[in-house]
Chain A
Amino acid sequence: MRQLSYSEAIREALRLEMRRDSNVFILGEDVGQFGGCFGVTGDLWKEFGEDRVRDTPISETAIIGTAVGAAVTGMRPVAEIMFCDFLTVCMDQLVNQAAKMRYMFGGKAVVPLTVRTPVGGGISAAAQHSQSLEAWFTHVPGLKVVMPSTAADAKGLLTAAIRDDNPVMFFEHKLLYPVKGDVPEGEYVIPLGQADVKREGSDVTVIATSIMVNRALEAAEALAAEGISLEVIDPRTLVPLDEETILASVEKTGRVVIAHEAVTRSGFGAEIAAIIAEKALDYLDAPIKRVGSKPAPIPFSGVLEQFVLPGSQDIIAAVKELV
């Protein structure tokens, strides 16, 4: 199959959806001629023009506010927030406005809004440009939360997000942008709420999100050599969450490691662990283990940053405590 990078796959989804539906448009900082801070929107402005690939002032509140206003009146905006850390600047428009409008208005409004934003560390960008804040948004009823780990998933899920009639938070990982993978050509939609078993195994279930899926696959490869078989599950969307696939795997293995790059404390892993504890305690042969960032802001210096961020060796260590 044809290979695309994660960022090319995202761009392809944007391009196809913009061709298909004239109500879809992009807005964000430097998304036009500049092509986006991480080059994701690339040359889209050439095909669609400045009206549909709109450069905004540095005004995150206005970016999301404008997107919400446009969405509720018939458009289908895709807003880019340059780093997920800057979502903090526009939280009201997301959390109090976008997420709740439909409900507060008795189901009479639709807010078909997609917010794309990169998470993650690993590039010495320090504490205000490296966070993974996805869990915050899973706590807000009304928002959907998507977090792809591969190029193909990014294309299929972004297409679904854009077509969805709800506000969808779409978290990309900045280290994944150049990573290539097979991506189906033409229209490709992955329904929100379907997990993917990235590797089948029998001893331990590793539920991983975003870049930690790659780390889990590395760990699986390394442990296979030692005769330990990991099953790697990528939920792909956190809200809605495919509990069934997760619970089925837990039933099979009886052992669980949950891995995400966000700080472990109150990360989405806590929610997954709670669901397993509530619904699958009988299947468990060992305590649930969580792997995530240590509880610190992301530091600048590489040695410190690598210490704080989780890696495949942390997954391996967690697995070894279970088997």
Chain B
Amino acid sequence: MEKEKLVDLYRQMVRVRQFETKVSELFAQGKIPGFVHLYIGEEATAVGACANLRPDDYITSTHRGHGHCLAKGGDMKLMMAELFGKKTGYCKGKGGSMHIADMDVGILGANGIVGGGLGIAPGAGLSAKLRGTDQVTACFFGDGASNQTTFHEGINIASIWRLPVIFICENNQYGISLHQSKHQRVADVADRAVAYGIPGVVVDGNDVMAVYEAVGEAVKRARAGEGPTLIEAKTYRWHGHFEGDPTVYRSEKELAEWKERCPILRFGKHLVEMGVATEQELDTIKAEVDNEVEEAVRFAEESPLPVPEEALEDIYA
């Protein structure tokens, strides 16, 4: 991979990290209402996966969607304004964190319903197939979502119709408080691919290159008309399920171990060791991203609130 692309993977992960860190602060200050579910710790998965996608490819996202949105080319300012409930936000203040979407860059929405995207993604895949394009759809979902009916029904229909869909399970070990070992008998969600006659791949979700390569293979298959792949990225969320979650269900030790495996530190170190970038260059990226985030916050803060009556617009086409 060329140097610029490698450095861009790093930058994208930093963008997600800094954005989420700022959102956490703003939420604590009461500036962002509602529920927010942060992606901190899982950055390599969205970034590695989306680096394979074109602007006209699709993704379906989840309640933990900020990382997917940024990685797929979403506009940070419009995201932040939406989190503030402002008129200038992605959804004009109607959606909030759980419903950010950008139809122009193929982001078919975050989702408040666990497993919701597993229903929609095969449809986007079918549409591409019927329209005769080679667009693919990446469907992100959690380990918890893999126990919903839509997991079975969605992957099954995608497999029989050989739809160009990449099912990406972000196994961060928990569905809210329930550890994976208590919500399913298999250790690897990817094992379930056997049931649909499609490839199942386990990948280190904290290794951006590993994710990039695994999803790259699956995208190639999908574009070639060979059908879907189920990829499981093993990762971990550092924050609570939602901001404010006291996380009584997990140990400090477990969290500390995962923090050791920080996807950004790891990849940064790798870039420096390979001579792709210097520490200073990485620091510059962080500073630039800090500015970008500050800009986004300023934009959000300065934007107007919607007018109440706008609540009755956009209901029907």
A126 near B99 with CB under 8 A, answer yes
8 Å CB contacts to A: which residues of B238-282? 248-249
B99 near A300 with CB under 8 A, answer yes
Contacts of B33 in A (CB 8 A): 123-124, 300, 302
Partner of A304, one of B35, B94, B99, B182: B94
Contacts of B175 in A (CB 8 A): 29, 57-58
A129 lies within 8 A of chain B by Cβ: yes
Given contacts A57-B147, A57-B178, contact A301 B305 (CB under 8 A): yes
Given contacts A55-B182, A124-B33, contact A300 B144 (CB under 8 A): no
Partner of B94, one of A30, A37, A301: A301
Tell me the bound Cα distance from A29 to B241 in angstroms.
Answer: 13
Contacts of A308 in B (CB 8 A): 311
Contacts of A299 in B (CB 8 A): 93-94, 311
B184 near A124 with CB under 8 A, answer no
- How many A residues touch the partner, as a band? 35 or more
Partner of A89, one of B96, B148, B312: B148
A57 near B98 with CB under 8 A, answer no
Bitwise, A44-77 to B at CB < 8 A (1) or not (0) is: 0000000000010111111000000000000000
8 Å CB contacts to A: which residues of B261-317? 305-312, 315
A58 near B112 with CB under 8 A, answer no
**Would you give the shortest CB distance from A148 to chain B, in whole angstroms?**
25
A303 lies within 8 A of chain B by Cβ: yes
Q: Which residue of B lies closest to A88 (CB)?
A: B113
8 Å CB contacts to A: which residues of B161-209? 175-178, 182-184
8 Å CB contacts to B: which residues of A111-131? 123-129
A58 near B99 with CB under 8 A, answer no
**Would you give the shortest CB distance from B261 to chain A, in whole angstroms?**
25
Partner of A125, one of B35, B86, B305: B35
B311 near A300 with CB under 8 A, answer no
A294 near B312 with CB under 8 A, answer yes
Q: Which of A58, A128, A294, A301 has the most CB of B within 10 A?
A: A301
Contacts of A58 in B (CB 8 A): 114-115, 144-145, 147-148, 175, 183
Contacts of A305 in B (CB 8 A): 311
8 Å CB contacts to B: which residues of A121-144? 123-129
Tell me the bound Cα distance from A57 to B135 in angstroms.
Answer: 33
Given contacts A58-B144, A124-B85, contact A301 B183 (CB under 8 A): no
Contacts of A33 in B (CB 8 A): 177, 248-249
A225 lies within 8 A of chain B by Cβ: no
B112 near A303 with CB under 8 A, answer no
B55 lies within 8 A of chain A by Cβ: no
Contacts of A129 in B (CB 8 A): 35, 98, 112
B176 near A301 with CB under 8 A, answer no
**Would you give the shortest CB distance from B317 to chain A, in whole angstroms?**
14
**Would you give the shortest CB distance from A138 to chain B, in whole angstroms?**
23
B248 near A34 with CB under 8 A, answer yes
B96 near A301 with CB under 8 A, answer yes
Contacts of B86 in A (CB 8 A): 301
Tell me the bound Cα distance from A124 to B86 in angstroms.
Answer: 13
Bitwise, A274-305 to B at CB < 8 A (1) or not (0) is: 00000000000000000000111101111111
Contacts of B248 in A (CB 8 A): 33-34
Contacts of B148 in A (CB 8 A): 58-60, 89
**Would you give the shortest CB distance from A157 to chain B, in whole angstroms?**
28
Contacts of B312 in A (CB 8 A): 294-296
Partner of B184, one of A37, A57, A294, A301: A57
A124 near B34 with CB under 8 A, answer yes
Q: Which residue of B lies closest to A305 (CB)?
A: B311
Contacts of B99 in A (CB 8 A): 126-128, 300
A59 near B147 with CB under 8 A, answer yes
B184 near A304 with CB under 8 A, answer no
A300 near B91 with CB under 8 A, answer yes
A38 lies within 8 A of chain B by Cβ: no
B133 lies within 8 A of chain A by Cβ: no
Contacts of A34 in B (CB 8 A): 176-177, 248-249
A301 near B85 with CB under 8 A, answer yes
Contacts of B82 in A (CB 8 A): 300
Tell me the bound Cα distance from A127 to B99 in angstroms.
Answer: 9
Contacts of A306 in B (CB 8 A): 308
Tell me the bound Cα distance from A177 to B170 in angstroms.
Answer: 33
**Would you give the shortest CB distance from A161 to chain B, in whole angstroms?**
26
**Would you give the shortest CB distance from B314 to chain A, in whole angstroms?**
9
B315 near A295 with CB under 8 A, answer yes
**Would you give the shortest CB distance from A130 to chain B, in whole angstroms?**
10
B73 lies within 8 A of chain A by Cβ: no
Partner of B308, one of A29, A57, A300, A304: A304
A32-B177, A126-B98, A301-B306 are known; give 19 further A-B pairs, CB within 8 A. Answer: A34-B176, A57-B147, A58-B114, A59-B147, A62-B147, A89-B148, A89-B149, A123-B33, A123-B34, A124-B33, A124-B96, A125-B34, A126-B112, A129-B112, A299-B94, A301-B93, A303-B93, A303-B306, A304-B94
Q: 7 interchain pairs (CB within 8 A)?
A: A37-B176, A57-B183, A89-B148, A124-B96, A296-B315, A300-B82, A300-B85
Listed from nearest, the 4 A-B pairs whose CB atoms lie closest are A301-B85, A300-B96, A128-B112, A301-B93
